[in-house]
């Protein structure tokens, strides 16, 4: 049985001693809060974005009745989550609640550590008091993924370290499943990232879903782990790249002042070149 601060591969677990007992006898109610990563950008299926939270919930649903509410929105900040997502999440009465947000905050010149800390503490306190086990993260060094020049990478890295310290405090105070994305290696391998370098690829989404599933299994919620292997075709990935690029470029333009024009231009050009390459013909 896991206890507060006991370290297991990929993160730490809380002091609940396991998932809520109602998960074992009735519906498992899952709610996802956050930004575009949890919304699913980077993992397109048919005409919609799926993402790691949906992959995880599909796996839970193979062994349990499931109710899933994804409230995450592209571009959301911590303040947005507290102001517009938290109330609806609590109405859902979740037993498992994911909260992955903050990268949009650190990439803005308006970054406010104190406000971010207060909002995250309020969100997790409300979710845990409602009876949910909270899933959250420690972020990787995203400046490395973006390929930022050194003079821009350093302040972004420092902000991410501040954000991680807040998440560490939150998890210490309330208890959470905390996934360390740096330990997972998600920031070190290009294949885990979509063409815009802002959102996980299908492989990245699956890696996160798999790791969270392993933690939930260890806490007593039994279900088959979601597979790691991507299922999308090359043609699907090309189409996803085109759509994702169209969605990401306006955001990059707005963030150019914070990222630096040179870094933003580099990302946009790489994405356009990739998306313009015709997909190879599938063999019969």
Q: Is residue 235 part of a domain?
A: no
Q: Is residue 270 part of a domain?
A: no
Residue 223: CB partners within 8 Å, gap ≥ 6? 59, 60, 62, 63, 64, 213, 216, 217
Q: Under the phi-then-psi rule, with left for phi > 0, alpha for psi from -120 to 50, and beta for the rest, what region is 226?
A: beta
In the chain, pLDDT over 90 holds for what percent of residues? Answer: 57
Q: Is residue 20 part of a domain?
A: yes
Q: Is residue 69 part of a domain?
A: yes
CATH of the domain at 217: 3.40.50.1110
Question: What is the model's pLDDT at position 248?
Answer: 61
**Higher-pLDDT residue of 9, 242:** 242
Rounded Cα distance, 21 and 126, in Å:
19
Question: What is the model's pLDDT at position 195?
Answer: 79
The angle that helices 150-174 and 113-129 make with each other, rounded to 10 degrees, is 30
Rounded Cα distance, 203 and 274, in Å:
18
Sort strands 11-12 and 48-49 into parallel, antiparallel or unpaired. Answer: unpaired
Question: Which of 45-49, 81-85, 232-236, 274-278 is predicted most confidently?
Answer: 81-85
CB 195 within 8 A of CB 237: no
Question: What is the model's pLDDT at position 258?
Answer: 63
For the chain, give the number of residues: 284
Q: Is residue 283 part of a domain?
A: no
Question: What is the model's pLDDT at position 69?
Answer: 98
Rounded Cα distance, 182 and 168, in Å:
14
Q: Domain span at residue 151? A: 7-229
| Dihedral angle of Cα 14, 70, 247, 59, to the nearest 10 degrees | 70
Paired tokens of 184? 């997972």
**Higher-pLDDT residue of 109, 60:** 60
Residue 11, SS3? strand
Q: Is residue 269 part of a domain?
A: no
The model's pTM: 0.82
In the chain, pLDDT over 70 holds for what percent of residues? Answer: 73
The string of pLDDT tens digits covering residues 102-151 is: 999 998 888 999 999 999 999 999 999 999 999 999 999 988 887 777 87
Q: How many domains is the chain built from? A: 1
Rounded Cα distance, 207 and 229, in Å:
9
**Higher-pLDDT residue of 274, 181:** 181
Q: Is residue 1 part of a domain?
A: no
The string of pLDDT tens digits covering residues 4-19 is: 333 333 444 444 456 6
Residue 141: CB partners within 8 Å, gap ≥ 6? 153, 157, 160, 182, 187
Q: Is residue 135 part of a domain?
A: yes
């Amino acid at each position: 049985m896991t206890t507060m601060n006991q370290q297991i591969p990929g993160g730490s677990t809380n002091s609940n001693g396991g998932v809520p007992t109602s998960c074992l006898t009735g519906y498992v109610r899952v709610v996802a809060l956050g930004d575009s990563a949890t919304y699913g950008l980077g993992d397109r299926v048919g005409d919609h974005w799926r993402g790691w939270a949906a992959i995880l919930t599909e796996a839970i649903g193979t062994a349990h009745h499931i109710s899933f509410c994804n409230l995450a929105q592209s571009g959301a900040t911590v303040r947005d989550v507290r102001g517009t997502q938290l109330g609806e999440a609590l109405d859902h009465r979740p037993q498992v609640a994911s909260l992955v947000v903050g990268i949009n905050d650190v990439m803005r010149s308006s970054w406010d550590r104190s406000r971010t800390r207060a909002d995250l503490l309020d969100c997790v306190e409300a979710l845990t008091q409602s009876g949910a086990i909270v899933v959250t993260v420690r972020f990787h060094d995203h400046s490395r993924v973006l390929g930022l020049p050194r003079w821009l990478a350093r302040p972004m890295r420092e902000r991410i370290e501040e954000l991680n310290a807040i998440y560490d405090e939150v998890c210490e105070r309330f208890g959470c499943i905390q996934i360390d994305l740096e330990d997972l290696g998600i920031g070190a391998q290009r294949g885990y990232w979509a063409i815009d370098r802002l959102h996980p690829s299908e492989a990245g989404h699956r890696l996160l879903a798999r790791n969270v599933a392993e933690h939930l299994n260890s806490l007593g919620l039994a279900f088959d782990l979601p597979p790691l292997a991507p299922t999308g075709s090359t043609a699907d990935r090309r189409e996803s790249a085109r759509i994702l690029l169209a969605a990401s470029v306006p955001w990059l333009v707005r963030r150019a002042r914070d990222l630096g024009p040179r870094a933003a231009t580099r990302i946009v050009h790489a994405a356009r070149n990739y998306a313009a390459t015709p997909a190879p013909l599938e063999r019969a």
